[in-house]
Amino acid sequence: MYTEAILGILLLLLWWKAFLKKPADLPPGRWGLPLVGYIPFTKKSMEEQLLDLNKEHGDIYVWRMGTQVMVFLHSYEMCKEALGRQDFVNRPDWQFFTFGEKVALGVGGSNGSLWHSNRRFTLRQLKDQGMGKSRLVSSVHEQTKMLLGNVRQQVGKSGPVPHAIRVAVVNVIWHMVAGITYDVDDAKLKGFLQLMDNFNDYSFYTTILDMFPWLGHLPLSLKNRLFYLDQEEIFKERFMEYFYELIEEHRSSMDPENPRDLMDAYLMEMREAPEREEVARSEKDLAILILDLFFAGSETTTSTLTFIMYYLAVFPEAQRKLQQEIDRVLPDGALATLEDKARLPYTEAVIHEVLRMSSLVPGGVQHCASKDTQFAGYTIPKGSIINYAIASVHYDPRYWKQPEKFMPERWLDAEGKFNTKKEGFLPFGVGKRVCLGESLARMELLIFTAAVFQNFNISSPPGSPLDITPDPKQPMFHLPRNQNIYITARN
């Protein structure tokens, strides 16, 4: 009798130690129960809870969500150190990153040599198209003119930020990828943008499966009802049809001596691939690589441009200073080029301050530990998910004086020159997987912003002050709210 009781207690203790208690060498934090992790019962937003945990535990802590051990980093130094490490370079094998493929393709969600070669390939494309003849700059200029024409139609009226901004950003990617430019009202483009919206709306549901992978054992029909997997598959197939059609057109019309765009360049590498066995090139990989560029590069840039308009409407003094600088540097309405960047320090300062304050990707994009790793005095177990709190670093008084204040001047030195301060600034991430479209995004932000404020004033509509805080309906990202602006023409 006693022996059974003691054995029972021992078993309980073992079970507690093995499954219930957080291993001592992990960072402090929330652990909860096996399979479900720590489920908070609070009305606080996720972001508020993370700030509470930061206060309680410091710059590194864990939160087991479902079966996923999530590690959160809150200091710039830790983010830089962790994201520069080979052991943390991978993405988790979440549906969110794999788009339902067994092994993730493309660049944003892939790992290992495929990621490496696709990243190198895409960076080279961006560089080649951005240099010499500078095809990318002329594409951005062409889109700027289209944008200005559309903004002009809204002069004297209250209305949402012109849809043409999104079209301009998407067209620059289309141009780089496939040499295509759509009209603002093009039905095919509208269908494409709608598809992106649908895909974004439904991708939230698959993250639940990523946190609780054991739910994957449910019958398919139930999973489809709960997580809309079938819908996601349909949207993905539609994207693929889109891209496969273009890939076919490119294959039949391309001149190997004169590659026109990223598709041509990839198809040429595919031809050469048998001789270079380390790269697994395929049409599906190309299609997903393109999908990655649209998902990573369009809403991010469009939303930042929208935030720039909102901030400058709310801070008219900054708008006036920016316009004075543009008038001085770009007389006669010329469009900015990359060469003008050094002469537009205040414009650069405004863009950087908006990137800091809006912190579009507040929790960074997840990485994953590929093996048990020692970090900051703790053991980070293989499979842990690494999150880096960009928004928290951007508002941290260790790096920023009066972080809540919109102060473009913080980016200027005593002579008014732009000061490329890096410490505590990571809107594009940091380390080995840092945003590969950063240079393109920066170029678009500079050229579009300069052109819009060279030609127009933007303010809140009479009686409806703009709200620059992020839309609370979007829990994962800091997106601008849907609201009206008021545009007037400058002389």
Interacting residues with ligand HEM (CB under 6 A): 83, 107-108, 119, 173, 292-293, 296-297, 300-301, 304, 360-361, 364-365, 427-429, 433-437, 440-441
Residue nearest to ligand HEM (CB): 437
Question: Shortest Cβ distance from residue 287 to ligand HEM (Å)?
Answer: 14
The residue among 20 and 434 lying less far from ligand HEM, judged by its C-beta, is 434
Q: How far is residue 57's CA from residue 59's CA, in Å, rounded to a whole number? A: 7
177: tokens are 């990828």
Nearest CB to ligand HEM, comparing residues 229 and 265: 265
| Minimum distance, C-beta of residue 30 to ligand HEM, in the bound complex (Å) | 23
Q: How far is CA 453 from the centre of its chain?
A: 25
Instruction: Report the candidate in 320, 303, 311, 313 with the shortest Cα–Cα distance to residue 458.
Output: 313
Smaller CB separation from ligand HEM, 83 or 161: 83
Angle at 350 (CA atoms; ends 344, 352), nearest 5 degrees: 100
Comparing CB distances to ligand HEM, the nearer of 281 and 352 is 352
When the beta carbons of 286 and 435 are compared against ligand HEM, the nearer one is 435
Contacts of 465 (CB under 8 A, 6+ apart): 314
Distance in Å, CB of 296 to ligand HEM, minimum: 3
CB of 265 to ligand HEM, least distance (A): 15
Classify 160 as helix, strand or coil.
strand
Structure tokens belonging to residue 329: 């540097």
List CB contacts of 319: < 8 A, sequence separation 6 or more.
312, 313, 453, 457, 458
- Round to whole Å and give the CA distance between 167 and 163: 7
* Closer to ligand HEM by Cβ: residue 37 or 362: 362
Contact 98, 209 (CB under 8 A): no
* Backbone φ and ψ of 431, nearest 5°: 90, -155
**What three-state secondary structure class fits 418?**
strand
CB of 89 to ligand HEM, least distance (A): 9
Go through the chain and tell me how many residues it has. 491
Comparing CB distances to ligand HEM, the nearer of 47 and 327 is 47
Cβ 427 to ligand HEM, closest distance in Å? 5
Dig out the tokens for 322 from the structure.
């920016």
CB half-sphere exposure, 214, CA atoms < 13 A: 8
Closer to ligand HEM by Cβ: residue 147 or 173? 173
β-pair partners for 71: 62, 386
| C-beta of 173 vs 466, nearer to ligand HEM | 173
> Beta 378-380 vs 385-388: how paired, if at all?
unpaired
Select 89 or 407, whichever has its Cβ closest to ligand HEM.
Answer: 89
What is the CB neighbour count within 10 angstroms for residue 145? 12
Residues whose CB falls within 8 Å of the CB of residue 249, separated by 6 or more in sequence, listed in order: none
- Expressed in percent and rounded to 5, the helix, strand and coil fractions of the chain are 55, 10, 35
Mention every residue, 6+ apart, whose C-beta is less than 8 A from residue 136: 126, 129, 130, 172, 175, 176, 440, 443
